[in-house]
Chains A and B, each alone.
Chain A
Amino acid sequence: MEIVEILFTASFWAAAIRIASPLIFATLGEVICERAGVLNLGIEGIMVAGAFAGWMAVYSGTGLWVGVGVAMVVGMLFGLLHSALTVPFGLSQHVVGLGVTLLATSSTYYAYRLALPEVTSPPKIVAFQPFEISLLSEIPIVGEALFSQTPLTYLAFISVAVVAFILYRTPLGLAVRAAGENPNAVAAQGLSVTAIRMGAVIFGSGLMAVGGAFLTMSAFDSFFFEMVNGRGWICIALVVFGSWRPGKALLGAVLFAAFDALQIRVQQTSIGTAVPYQIFLMMPYILSILALVMMSRRAEIPAALMVPFNKGER
């Protein structure tokens, strides 16, 4: 009974939207990469790097939005590295992706140790504060959940709309999607598959880093090791769950976050305390796998995903 009551509180849905925000950014980034034909397993590490870069920038005295920009640029640099190796050279996207994750994670930790050699607990910054949109935020439950979030959350939702518009309504979006479906057709149009794919990976990686930055600049106000904790891998599952569509991916992220918010609350109920807490912590990962199993048959995977394109070769 307690569980049903939880579902009707505004604070629960507000938490779900908050938990979903970093996932929305990163999933959107991965959707863009994969739509162009490149699987980006650098996502986990890029989120770590973004989380650190944005937070560190703000800690060193820049404004919050500049911090978001810094995170984005750092993510784009790792995207450049990833795409330079996987697109023109056509190297294994699995291996390069995992390599980028390892490099981004370790260089973040290295930079953290260099920047803050003496600290035992990481310093805090003044993070993004909730910004209530007047009138809208007064709608019961829905308004409180959706319109009393931090600006970064609004940006996440806006990004989905913008990316969806670009993907489906502009020539650029058509070129990106075609690069992931039929790169030969793109080349026949006189467009550069290499440029399109690299651009998509670089921009997508920037979004992933902003997703990471959400953790240190909005959800929390500090940087911890292991704070990304597999969220990037979950986003890879969310992309499949969302059938490579921005809107559906957003829906998947919110649904997933709702489950996550629910398990946190159930843990505190009488049922929850009787069950080992690890069971609850497992739930997000198990859910991701179940989602993959359910969606895998219906998923419309981009036809040229993970297929390198070498001009003049058929």
Chain B
Amino acid sequence: MRLEPLTAPSIVRKVGFPIAALCGTVFIASMLAMLAGANPFSVLGLILKGAFGSQFALLETLNRATPLIFTGLAVAVAFRAKFWNIGAEAQLYAGALMTVLLGTGALPWPSIALLPLLALVAILAGALLLLVPAILKTRFGVDEVVTTLLFNFIFLLFISMLLEGPLKDPMGMGWPKSARLVQDARLPRIFESLRLHWGFGLALISAVGIWVIQTRSTLGYEMRAVGLNRQAAAFAGIPVNRVLLKTALLSGGLAALAGFSEVAGVKASLTLDLSPGYGYTGIIVAMLALLNPLGVVVAALFVAGIFVGADSMSRAANVPTYLADMMLAIALLLMVLAILLTRFRIVRD
């Protein structure tokens, strides 16, 4: 068999395959839940109900989607330039670390000045952290997939070291946990009555901002060109390495905002379980969104919905929660295949 590009794919193809991928995911997940003794026909309903069925569930989904929008954007920006940043997890913790370093009383500033500063410092930290693999790539040709992956392990150990050493909260009953943020360093709620903090607002603003950069700026154009064909971009006079470094700074900064938003908006202190793999899940979010920054918001809501919904389903139907991760992996693989089939036709020879 071989693949033949379609010049004008039909609308049925463009919509049909992605929908088929989603249906396939639900079907496989239902079968898997049946293995655990659940009624397969109730799985989808239970997940949807658990994720969107009540105001509480919906807010939980939105809160869970917030860090995923940031990490999803971070990955989408980087992957668009074919810069494989798998290190969003470490960059997230870099942002969280800065938020805790400066937000626990070091700066007696009012909220209006302190929060922007914290966000900015977090962005810087994440950007700098990703700059190291980026320079290793542009200078020495070291593959960034491996370095960014390994950085996740190194940085988490670093955080663990700080939490058991200088950052350890003396009031923490011996747990490796930082001191709590001062009140002025906490992100306020968007609506007083709803449990949804401004991190979500910031995530939406970032998504629009990245969309503008990608579609309306020279940098966005250059990043796309570098991603499409590095040689051609260089030939056209685009400074490829500089664009890659800028991409890395942007990507790392976005991932760090996830850490800032989780600490300042939700947890108020830093622990080693701040992120249940938001950095890695960001890759799925970005891929499901086809690397489109606005799509990232939708994909993050979808992924967060699966997590929240599967959590509640697993309690209701006694299915292990790992089903959620399996669903995401299946959705990811089926979706990349479906997207390919919207543009290519399989020809037998």
Chain A residues packing against B (C-beta within 8 Å): 41, 81, 85, 88-92, 94-96, 98-100, 102-103, 105-107, 109-110, 113-114, 229-230, 233-234, 236-237, 240, 276, 278-279, 281-282, 285-286, 288-289, 292-293, 296-297, 310-313
Contact = CB atoms under 8 A, between A and B. Distances in A.
A292 B146 contact: yes
Given A109-B320, A109-B322, A276-B164, A282 B146 contact: no
Contacts of A234: 150
A85 B330 CA distance: 12
Contacts of A311: 2, 349
Nearest to B163: A278
A279 B161 contact: yes
Nearest to B327: A106
Interface of B: 1-3, 32, 35-36, 84, 86, 136, 140-143, 145-147, 149-151, 153-154, 157-158, 160-161, 164-165, 280, 283-284, 287, 320, 322-323, 325-326, 328-330, 332-333, 336-337, 340, 349
A84 to B, nearest CB: 9
A65 to B, nearest CB: 28
B146 A110 contact: no
A237 B1 contact: no
Nearest to A91: B336
Given A89-B340, A90-B3, A289-B150, A297 B332 contact: no
Given A89-B340, A99-B332, A296-B141, 19 more contacts: A85-B333, A100-B329, A102-B280, A103-B333, A105-B325, A106-B329, A107-B322, A109-B320, A110-B322, A113-B320, A114-B320, A233-B146, A233-B150, A286-B154, A288-B150, A289-B151, A292-B147, A293-B140, A312-B349
B3 A94 contact: no
* Interface hub of A89, A106, A279, A286 (most chain B Cβ within 10 A): A106
Contacts of A293: 136, 140, 142
* Interface hub of B32, B153, B325 (most chain A Cβ within 10 A): B153
Nearest to A110: B322
Contacts of B84: 94
A107 B326 contact: yes
A208 B113 CA distance: 52
Contact of A102 (B1, B3, B329): B329
A233 B153 CA distance: 10
Please provide the 6 A-B residue pairs with the shortest distance between their CB atoms, ordered closest to farther. A106-B325, A103-B329, A113-B320, A278-B161, A102-B329, A110-B322
Given A282-B157, A285-B153, A285-B154, A102 B284 contact: yes
B340 A91 contact: yes
A286 B154 CA distance: 7
